């Protein structure tokens, strides 16, 4: 059985559709872009987490191959997330060893699978679109701020892709200002050339079959080689750095195993639960965001994603990796590079593995400044000016939660920022809900006024105050018709107000007629309201 969404089958085992020429010509170039974006981020997140650099690359490989294969999302890309770096660093420190932390990661993966089986993924449906749009724009702004130092050759740190604060007691703003005082002009030239390729190359339709990011990487390697021995030469830390493996024994020595002897440690379970909850929330947020920018507008099965992420984290914990989530930066790079199916995510994982095994020296020739240019373009597309104009025209009810989410995410981190945006978004939802419990119409028959109040489909407790004020303010000597024919549910407190008003309105000379307003409403069973194929 399969469910068709946007022309692609979701949830079936037919893999042939992923290898159609029309999909591969988009997916393969996109996978290369995602690989080039993911590689330095995997290393940077591992470093910021206090874990071995190999763990970051390993997590990217598992996220691409394992989670990419099992996921129902066609465009999301899983890997180590910068939003978890503080949690991972604290967990490794508090648990005393990396092997004990790996046990917590295995348990976290099991918790995530349980959440998927319990269909907890439906929580993603309750995030307002203004908050999701704000999160995407904030990620774009953070990308620009985080990558600007690399673009101008100031590579003092190897930070991840999210978060305002940095491990060196600086933040995104101070990082940008500091970079302006320590510019490497060789890196600046590479960045400018790279941006020119990213902007203008796609305009040449006949040549666009060669992806611009590939040309960016080749140009970056060529320019950095040309600058060697001159005043524009790059420093060692301004290149990608992945571990160089010279033999199979060295390769397998990089793996670590979980310490199952610490299964009785209470702190292990606390860390596991924390990782599971935070990773699941970040995954659901990213999945919702990716679905919004999917050009085909497919809807990803959230519960299946939680199960896939759980399996990925179990695998990562057993082999010595880091926690993973669906990551918006890599996913948005995937979308913007023209990917169509999950093949791009899987192939990017294969490329990470191949690069680690066979071409680490070649990968280490890539300047960080040309990769920064790719991410700067991705950031601009996420936070484009047209998006702000669009949200403004949607009205303040949409624009204010959108802006608040942007500011909060930029100044804090992804989850805290989205939480603040959610509170503002829910406030406006409740505010609108309070204003729209009914339709109000006044008709006049001679000197007698008739007021028709047609109740909404759902009249909740939140509408109680508005209805109470409306009824008590109706003028004396009028006929009032309260029409509940369209209402599937009316809260008991609201019903009490309506019936009390009908019984007592005669004291003001008001005649009240109730149309299809029941004495009691039962809440419809959940299965009648929600169809969830996950």
Determine contact, residues 142/411, Cβ cutoff 8 Å.
Answer: no
Which residue would you say has higher pLDDT here, 524 or 136?
136
Between 196-210, 417-431, 505-519, the lowest mean confidence (pLDDT) is in 196-210
Residues 72 and 218 in one domain: yes
Which of 361, 366, 37 is CA-nearest to residue 222? Answer: 366
How far is residue 116's CA from residue 113's CA, in Å, rounded to a whole number? 5
Q: What are phi and psi of 100, to 5 degrees?
A: -70, -40
Residues 365 and 498 in one domain: no
Look at the block and give the residue holding tokens 């990917």.
339
Between 68-77, 184-193, 205-214, 325-334, the lowest mean confidence (pLDDT) is in 205-214
Residue range 506-510: average pLDDT? 87
Which residue would you say has higher pLDDT here, 437 or 406?
406
The verdict on residue 3 lying in a domain is no
Residue range 392-414: average pLDDT? 90
Quickly count: other Cβ atoms within 10 Å of residue 204's Cβ.
10
Between 394-398, 428-432, 515-519, the lowest mean confidence (pLDDT) is in 428-432
Residue range 295-304: average pLDDT? 89
Categorize the per-residue pLDDT at 37 as very low, low, confident or very high, splitting at 50, 70 and 90.
confident
How big is the chain by its Cα radius of gyration, in Å? 28
Residues 237 and 107 in one domain: yes
The verdict on residue 2 lying in a domain is no
pLDDT at 531 over 70: no
The reported pLDDT for the residue numbered 175 is 61
The verdict on residue 384 lying in a domain is yes
Q: Starting from the edge strand earliest in sequence, which strands make up the sheet with 448-455, in order?
A: 438-445, 448-455, 479-483, 511-515
Residue 239: partners with Cβ closer than 8 Å, 6 or more residues away = 224, 364, 365, 366, 367, 368
Which residue would you say has higher pLDDT here, 240 or 169?
240
Final residue belonging to a domain, choices 364, 388, 404:
404
Which of 24, 70, 128, 64 is CA-nearest to residue 324? Answer: 64
The reported pLDDT for the residue numbered 208 is 62
The verdict on residue 413 lying in a domain is no
pLDDT at 392 over 90: yes
Residues 274 and 344 in one domain: yes
Residues 522 and 472 in one domain: yes
How far is residue 229's CA from residue 262's CA, in Å, rounded to a whole number? 53
Residues 294 and 175 in one domain: yes
Which of 23, 127, 102 is CA-nearest to residue 347? Answer: 23
The reported pLDDT for the residue numbered 228 is 92
The reported pLDDT for the residue numbered 292 is 86
For 319-355, what is each residue's pLDDT tens digit? Answer: 999 999 998 888 988 998 889 999 999 999 999 999 8
Residue 398 to residues 79, 368, 428, 430, Cα–Cα distance (Å):
31, 37, 8, 13
Q: What residue ranges in 279-326 does DSSP mark as E strands?
A: 324-326
Mean pLDDT across the chain: 83
How far is residue 365's CA from residue 385's CA, in Å, rounded to a whole number? 35
The reported pLDDT for the residue numbered 178 is 64
Which of 480, 462, 463 is CA-nearest to residue 471? Answer: 480
The verdict on residue 239 lying in a domain is yes
Residues 450 and 350 in one domain: no
The verdict on residue 52 lying in a domain is yes
Dihedral over Cα of 250, 36, 186, 175: its sign: negative
Residues 186 and 261 in one domain: yes
Determine contact, residues 482/455, Cβ cutoff 8 Å.
Answer: yes
Residue range 172-199: average pLDDT? 81
Residues 366 and 490 in one domain: no
Q: How far apart are the first and last CA of the chain?
A: 12
For 138-154, what is each residue's pLDDT tens digit? Answer: 878 887 887 888 888 87
Look at the block and give the residue holding tokens 């465009």.
75
How far is residue 297's CA from residue 301's CA, in Å, rounded to a whole number? 13
How far is residue 256's CA from residue 249's CA, in Å, rounded to a whole number? 13
DSSP state of 522: P
The verdict on residue 317 lying in a domain is yes
Which of 274, 281, 248, 327 is CA-nearest to residue 59? Answer: 327
Q: What percent of the chain has pLDDT over 70?
A: 86
For 220-251, what is each residue's pLDDT tens digit? Answer: 999 999 999 898 999 888 888 777 878 888 88
Determine contact, residues 320/58, Cβ cutoff 8 Å.
Answer: yes
Domain extent at residue 491: 436-526
Which helix (H) or strand (E) element contains residue 421?
helix 414-435
How far is residue 297's CA from residue 291's CA, in Å, rounded to a whole number? 6
Which of 234, 222, 219 is CA-nearest to residue 185? Answer: 234
Q: What are phi and psi of 457, to 5 degrees?
A: -65, -40
pLDDT at 189 over 90: yes
Residues 390 and 444 in one domain: no
Q: Domain containing 483 — which CATH number?
A: 3.30.750.24
Determine contact, residues 302/10, Cβ cutoff 8 Å.
Answer: no
The verdict on residue 113 lying in a domain is yes
Q: What are phi and psi of 208, to 5 degrees?
A: -70, -10
pLDDT at 32 over 50: yes
Look at the block and give the residue holding tokens 């010509």.
25
Report the domain count for the chain.
2
Determine contact, residues 413/48, Cβ cutoff 8 Å.
Answer: no
Residue 504 to residues 449, 497, 498, 509, Cα–Cα distance (Å):
19, 11, 10, 10
Residues 450 and 390 in one domain: no
- The H helix count followed by the E strand count for the chain is 22, 10
Burial of 527 (0-12, 13-18, 19+ CB in 10 A): exposed
For 95-141, what is each residue's pLDDT tens digit? Answer: 989 999 999 999 999 999 999 999 988 876 777 888 888 887 887 88
Residue 369 to residues 150, 179, 364, Cα–Cα distance (Å):
5, 13, 13
Buried b / exposed e across 226-249, counting CB within 10 Å, b at 16+? Answer: ebeeeebebeeebbbbbeebeeee
For 447-498, what is each residue's pLDDT tens digit? Answer: 678 888 888 877 877 777 778 878 888 888 888 999 888 888 888 888 988 9
The reported pLDDT for the residue numbered 98 is 94
Residue range 279-291: average pLDDT? 89
- The SS3 of residue 481 is strand
Residues 321 and 396 in one domain: yes
């Amino acid at each position: 059985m399969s469910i068709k969404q946007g022309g692609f089958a979701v949830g079936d085992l037919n893999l042939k559709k992923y290898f159609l020429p029309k999909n591969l010509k988009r997916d393969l170039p996109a996978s290369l872009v995602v690989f080039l974006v993911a590689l330095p981020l995997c290393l940077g997140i591992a470093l910021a987490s206090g874990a071995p650099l190999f763990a970051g690359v390993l997590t990217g490989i598992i996220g691409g191959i394992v989670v990419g294969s099992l996921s129902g999302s066609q465009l999301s890309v899983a890997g180590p997330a910068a939003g978890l770096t503080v949690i991972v660093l604290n967990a490794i420190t508090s648990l005393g060893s990396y092997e004990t932390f790996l046990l917590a990661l295995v348990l976290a993966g099991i918790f995530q699978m349980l959440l998927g089986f319990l269909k907890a993924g439906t929580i993603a449906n309750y995030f307002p679109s203004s908050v999701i749009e704000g999160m995407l724009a904030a990620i774009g702004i953070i990308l620009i701020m985080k990558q600007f130092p690399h673009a101008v050759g100031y590579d003092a740190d190897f930070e991840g892709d999210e978060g305002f604060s940095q491990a060196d007691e600086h933040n995104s703003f101070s990082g940008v200002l500091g970079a302006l005082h320590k510019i490497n002009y060789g890196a600046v030239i590479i960045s400018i050339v790279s941006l020119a390729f990213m902007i203008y190359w796609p305009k040449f339709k006949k040549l666009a079959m060669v992806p611009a990011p590939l040309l960016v990487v080749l140009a970056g390697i060529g320019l950095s080689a040309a600058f060697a021995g001159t005043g524009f030469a790059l420093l060692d830390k301004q290149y990608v750095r992945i571990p160089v493996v010279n033999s199979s024994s060295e390769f397998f020595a990089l793996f670590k195993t979980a310490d199952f002897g610490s299964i009785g440690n209470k702190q292990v379970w606390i860390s596991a639960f924390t990782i599971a909850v935070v990773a699941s929330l970040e995954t659901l947020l990213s999945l919702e965001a990716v679905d919004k920018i999917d050009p085909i507008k497919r809807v990803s099965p959230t519960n299946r994603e939680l199960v896939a992420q759980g399996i990925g984290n179990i695998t990562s914990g057993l082999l010595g990796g880091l926690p993973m989530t669906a990551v918006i930066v890599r996913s948005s790079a995937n979308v913007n590079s023209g990917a169509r199916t999950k093949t791009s995510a899987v192939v990017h994982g294969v490329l990470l593995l191949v690069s680690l095994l066979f071409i680490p020296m070649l990968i280490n020739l890539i300047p960080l400044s040309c990769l920064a240019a790719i991410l700067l373009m991705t950031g601009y597309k996420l936070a484009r000016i047209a998006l702000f104009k669009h949200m403004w025209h949607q009205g303040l009810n949409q624009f204010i939660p959108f802006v608040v989410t942007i500011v909060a995410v930029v100044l804090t981190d992804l989850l805290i920022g989205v939480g603040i945006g959610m509170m503002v978004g829910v406030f406006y939802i409740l505010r609108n809900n309070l204003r729209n419990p009914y339709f109000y119409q006044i008709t006049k028959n001679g000197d007698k006024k008739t007021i028709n109040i047609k109740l909404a489909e759902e009249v909740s407790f939140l509408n109680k105050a508005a209805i109470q004020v409306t009824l008590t303010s109706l003028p004396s000597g009028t006929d009032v018709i309260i029409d509940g024919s369209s209402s599937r549910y009316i809260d008991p407190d609201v019903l009490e107000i309506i019936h009390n008003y009908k019984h007592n309105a005669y004291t003001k000379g008001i005649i009240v007629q109730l149309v299809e307003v029941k004495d009691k409403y039962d809440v419809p069973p959940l299965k009648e309201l929600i169809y969830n194929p996950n």
